Chains A and B, each alone.
Chain A
Amino acid sequence: MNVALAKTGTGSTASAVFAAARSRLSGNAEIAELCRQAFETYERLGLPHRRIEEWKYTDLRALVREVLPLAPAPDAAALARAGAAIKAHAIDGARRLVLVDGVFVPELSDVAAVGAGVSVRELSDVLETDARGDLLQTASTDAMISLNAAMATDGVVLTIADGAELAAPIHLIHVATAASASAFTRSHLSIGNGARVTLVETFIAAEGAGAYQVNDAVILWIGDEADVSHVRLMADASDAVNITSQVVTVGARVKLNFFNMTSGGAVSRLQGFFTLAGEGSELSINGVNLLKDKEHGDLTLVVDHTVPGCTSRETFRAVIDDRAHSVFQGRIIVRPDAQKTDGKMMTRALLLSDEAEADNKPELEIFADDVACGHGATTGAIDESLLFYLRARGLPEKEAQALLIQAFVGEAIEQIANDALRETVEDAAQRWLEARR
């Protein structure tokens, strides 16, 4: 193997991209220095590869190889295409916040109407005006999160007041319009004590977008006794790359109902880091991967119980067709103080072809003695006897399969607490199934 070439293929391309991107980045000298440091951290690590334990199954050096140059800020034509794409993914009554090619677009957003007790600002503006360096920092040592801090051109800084009850969901939409370019976004969401909030994040491609890369990070703080529904739909172009990180800190007696569905993208990964920092919280973290062709979809979750008396439930379903590859990594950490922790995860993969692949890596790291934790996993094909029963009743094979697949993913989708959003996700899954026929 040509080591020098491999190095050229990763490190130096990224540094050229970073150098070229600097003019797009916001903030004063102090912010610029933080970006530079973050980039240095990234450069030291490089694109994650299979020898990095956390990235064992998603080797970005093999799958992605290089970081593409930043997409230009969208022009009028790009915004028009983005506007058209958004229509197909609109959620009734939701307040939209739209990022196109990594840039917040007020014209496509409902900034004024988000709701009482909500403040929305652009990350670029906050970095520029308030020089909030803390927004670029997390405790994470992940290379892709460092790269995100170095390169983030924009994002949303959302603050929801204590006790705010938002009637309408907040819908963060990421639209790609560019081809062979990258977009880096970083958003900070802070949910006040006792607030009730529904958040939706959608990743989509406008017509003409392709082979783009997304690197998104969401830093989410949830105050005590808040009730949060959070649904994400990763529906990228079939040749796109999307690496997205969620760093979530959960207060006491919180109810968090989280769901992600990945149904597109050549390579996608959602890595969610959930830290339970307050007692008595209940987390329901669920996901579905619907993968076809040669798609690679990775859901990596770390749930860190640092305090006593919290519950976490993870339900994940993957449907894998053709030569696609689905990865589920679930780590539950129970710190010494976190007695009475109740943490469980259950993951099942359904293989629709002989060449489909599923990797599953559950890890329990338990340092407390009075806990109830467990995990379970299955991988298998469609049950032939069920398929035959349906066909013997007149359902054509594909339709019978679709019904069984729907039931299978339904076990995760039914965990979504919000009725309207559950239906939205069911419809999206249904469309994926119909496209298979």
Chain B
Amino acid sequence: MPLLEVKDLHVCVEDREILHGLSLNVNEGEVHAIMGPNGSGKSTLSHVIAGKPGYEVTEGEILFNGENLLEMDPEERAAKGVFLAFQYPVEIPGVATMTFLRTALNAQRKARGEAEYSTPDFLKKVREVAKSLNIPQDMLKRGVNVGFSGGEKKRNEVLQMALFEPSLCILDEMDSGLDIDALRIAADGVNALRSPKRAMVVITHYQRLLNYIVPDVVHVMSRGRVVKTGGKELALELEAQGYAQFENAA
């Protein structure tokens, strides 16, 4: 059974259909890349998987470990192991990053019936992960993402991913806004999380990220559908030729 099964997904936003019958299977241990032109529906797909309100699924289904994901609240999905690293992480003034991380981690553990982390254990874990991602401690004292640069916000997403240890990681344009060094650090962080028990879906516009995070499968999305699926060489082909050939196919 695939970890994630998206079957014939149709999604409307404000009465306009954006995903027109999208299907996708992701197995445990695999890394999938999704590429596609602006507006093709990549972020929409990631939001629907994470449970963002405002999207209406008119047809199709999403199964996660065989369970109907669409019936779950976003927090339930998170506790079951779905993690979305946002393309545009929001700033939450007045909520200290540390408080947020601890509250979220313990809420997930509680939902799974696991013991909550003690404060020292939690701090130790956060410090380790932050260090490996080159995130300074004083950043963690600020409000969530408040005053973070674009790159720092993205690194903060990877930090959360490492902390929550999800079984499905969706990375929506993790590479946008990262300089070359930051990109390598973040990609190393992601690679460190690769495991036979964990799957990743990496949404990106650039082949460069896929040099660091080498995918098993590459999908091309166009106009709300997956129009082609292949191996990692597909990404190179796209880089060379662009999306025009698929626009017609869609």
Q: Which residues of A contact B (CB under 8 A)?
A: 383-386, 388-397, 399-400, 403-404, 406-408, 410-411
Contact = CB atoms under 8 A, between A and B. Distances in A.
B104 interface: yes
Contacts of B84: 392
B94 A406 contact: yes
Among A386, A390, A393, A394, max chain B CB count under 10 A is at: A394
B94 A392 contact: no
Among A385, A389, A403, A406, max chain B CB count under 10 A is at: A389
A434 to B, nearest CB: 14
26 contacts: A383-B90, A384-B53, A385-B90, A389-B89, A390-B100, A390-B104, A391-B51, A391-B74, A392-B50, A392-B51, A392-B78, A392-B84, A393-B104, A394-B75, A394-B78, A394-B79, A394-B104, A395-B75, A396-B111, A397-B73, A399-B103, A400-B75, A404-B95, A407-B143, A408-B94, A410-B94
A403 B96 CA distance: 10
Contacts of A383: 90
Contacts of A404: 92, 95
Interface in B93-137: 93-95, 99-100, 103-105, 107-108, 111
Nearest to B86: A389
Given A384-B53, A393-B104, A395-B107, A411 B74 contact: no
10 tightest A-B CB contacts, nearest first: A407-B94, A394-B108, A394-B78, A393-B104, A391-B74, A394-B107, A391-B75, A410-B94, A407-B95, A394-B104
B228 interface: no
Nearest to B91: A386
Given A389-B90, A393-B104, A403 B53 contact: no
Contact of B90 (A386, A399, A406): A386
A388 B100 CA distance: 13
Contact of A394 (B90, B93, B111): B111
B120 to A, nearest CB: 21
B64 interface: no
Contacts of B95: 403-404, 406-407
Contact of A393 (B93, B99, B164): B164
A409 to B, nearest CB: 9
Contacts of B105: 394
A403 B97 CA distance: 12
B92 A396 contact: no
A391 B77 CA distance: 9
Given A389-B90, A404-B92, 10 more contacts: A388-B53, A388-B74, A390-B92, A391-B73, A392-B75, A393-B160, A394-B111, A395-B103, A407-B92, A410-B94
B197 interface: no
Nearest to A410: B94
A411 B94 CA distance: 7
Nearest to A399: B107
Contacts of B107: 394-396, 399
B11 to A, nearest CB: 16
B141 interface: no
Contacts of A393: 78, 100, 104, 108, 160, 164
Interface in B151-165: 160, 164
Contacts of A386: 90, 92
Nearest to B78: A394
B142 to A, nearest CB: 12
Nearest to B77: A392
Contacts of B92: 386, 389-390, 404, 407
A197 B95 CA distance: 31
A403 B89 CA distance: 17
A408 B92 CA distance: 10
B21 to A, nearest CB: 25
B94 A397 contact: no
A390 B52 CA distance: 11
A394 B117 CA distance: 15
Contacts of B89: 389
B137 to A, nearest CB: 20
Contacts of A399: 103, 107
Contacts of B93: 407
Nearest to B51: A392
Contacts of A397: 73, 75
B165 to A, nearest CB: 12
A403 B74 contact: no
Interface string B166-183: 000000000000000000
Interface in B60-87: 73-75, 77-79, 84, 86
